[in-house]
């Protein structure tokens, strides 16, 4: 999915670590502030690091 964050700024991104199952969530508006509104949800997923086990980019996500 190549959804730009700016197109879904009122939603949140729920991620689940595929390595340990830890679940975490970010408000899209907060992600835009720390990255850019030009970045895609897939790029954020690839950069995300699990706080549970430290694995990066090995997760699934959904926009809600």
Q: Is 59 helix (H, G, I), strand (E, B) or coil?
A: strand
Question: Region 52-62: what's the mean pLDDT?
Answer: 95
Distance (Å, whole) CA 57 – CA 50 = 8
Question: Region 43-50: what's the mean pLDDT?
Answer: 95
Q: Provide the mean pLDDT of the chain.
A: 95
Question: Region 41-47: what's the mean pLDDT?
Answer: 94
Residue span of the structural domain in which 57 resides? 5-63
Q: What is the pLDDT of residue 28?
A: 97
pTM above 0.95, yes or no: no
Domain count, the chain: 1
Q: Is 53 helix (H, G, I), strand (E, B) or coil?
A: coil
Say which DSSP state 33 is in. H
Where does the pLDDT of residue 37 fall: very low under 50, low under 70, confident under 90, or very high at 90 and above? confident
């Amino acid at each position: 999915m190549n959804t730009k964050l700016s197109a879904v700024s009122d939603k949140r991104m729920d991620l689940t670590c595929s390595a340990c199952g830890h679940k975490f969530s970010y408000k899209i508006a907060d992600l835009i502030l720390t990255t850019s509104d030009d970045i895609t949800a897939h790029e954020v997923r690839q950069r995300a690091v699990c706080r549970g086990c430290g694995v990066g980019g090995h997760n699934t996500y959904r926009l809600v």
